[in-house]
Amino acid sequence: MNNVAILLAAGSGSRMRSEVKKQFICINNRPLMSYSLEALERSEVIDSVILVTSKEDIDYCREEIVKAYGFTKVKDYVPGGRERYNSVMAGLDAIESMGGADYVFIHDAARPCIDEEMLVRLYNEVRVSEACVAAVKSKDTVKIANNSDYVVSTPNRNLTWIVQTPQVFSYALIKEAYGVLKEEECGLSCQGIVVTDDAMVVETWTGHRVKLTHGSYKNIKVTTPEDLLYAEANLLK
């Protein structure tokens, strides 16, 4: 098998209220994104990594993170796009230039608390379903609101999940989905479509069902300064 991970590290992290991009903020004296890279480096189900980051940060990532920490699975550095889905497209193009893959793991560098058990669970599932995402059941009641912030409906909490990354797909399926998205990209804003994750791309443009696979409540996305404290505590364990 040839499994490739696309690690997305091109965000600006505006909600972090920091002059340093969040993927480079240090947790326990290490850059945030180094934890995801380490998990992918050590994993038995990941063969190589495509690192997607801002064009101006490629040299820094190569020298100060990948080489400095001895990560050998990173095979290409790709400039990110304007939106997250543009960055994923760039990563998929890089995989195509490498000759393709069997399965693609798409992960946000802002989630540093992934582990091997989660990666293996996802790999075992994707070989059956072709499309799966890390997720956890919602602990809270979720409300659907209108544009004026009034409650429209309350879905059954037993059926609501919080979706995370990694999101994992057969290469053929995710390539097909993003290929259709690329053709229809110009009309997204006119239709009011906001692409929030890769599962949505597969659901919307291929109709293929996506399996929710147990992730971890520790697998938070570091978005605000408060999240840094939580991630730091978990990474020390």
Q: Containing domain of residue 135, as a range?
A: 3-235
Average pLDDT over residues 162-178: 97
Q: Regarding beta strands 161-170 and 131-137, do their DSSP bridges make them parallel or antiparallel, or are they unpaired? A: antiparallel
Q: Name the phi and psi angles at 5, rounded to 5.
A: -100, 135
| Number of domains composing the chain | 1
This prediction has a pTM of 0.94
Residue 5 near residue 50, CB atoms below 8 Å:
yes
Q: Are 4 and 170 in contact (CB under 8 A)?
A: no
Has residue 20 got a pLDDT over 90? no
Residue 19 has pLDDT above 80, yes or no: no
Q: pLDDT-derived band of residue 194, with 50, 70 and 90 as boundaries?
A: confident
Q: Which two tokens stand for residue 183?
A: 């053709």
Residue that is written with structure tokens 């520790």 in the block = 218
CB of 52 closer than 8 Å to CB of 10 = yes
Give the number of other CB atoms < 10 A from CB of residue 202: 25
The pLDDT score that the predictor gives to residue 72 is 97
Question: Above 90 in pLDDT, residue 132?
Answer: yes
| Residue 119 identity | L
Q: Is the pLDDT of residue 219 over 70?
A: yes
Please report, for the domain that includes residue 82, its CATH number.
3.90.550.10
pLDDT of residue 224: 83
Q: What is the mean pLDDT of residues 108-115?
A: 95
Q: What is the pLDDT of residue 198?
A: 97
Q: Is the peptide bond before 166 cis (omega within 30 degrees of 0)?
A: yes
Query: Buried b vs exposed e over 82-96: b needs ≥16 C-beta within 10 Å?
Result: eebbbbbbbbbbbbe
Cβ pair 126, 132 in contact under 8 A: yes
Q: Which DSSP helix (H) or strand (E) runs through 174? A: helix 171-184
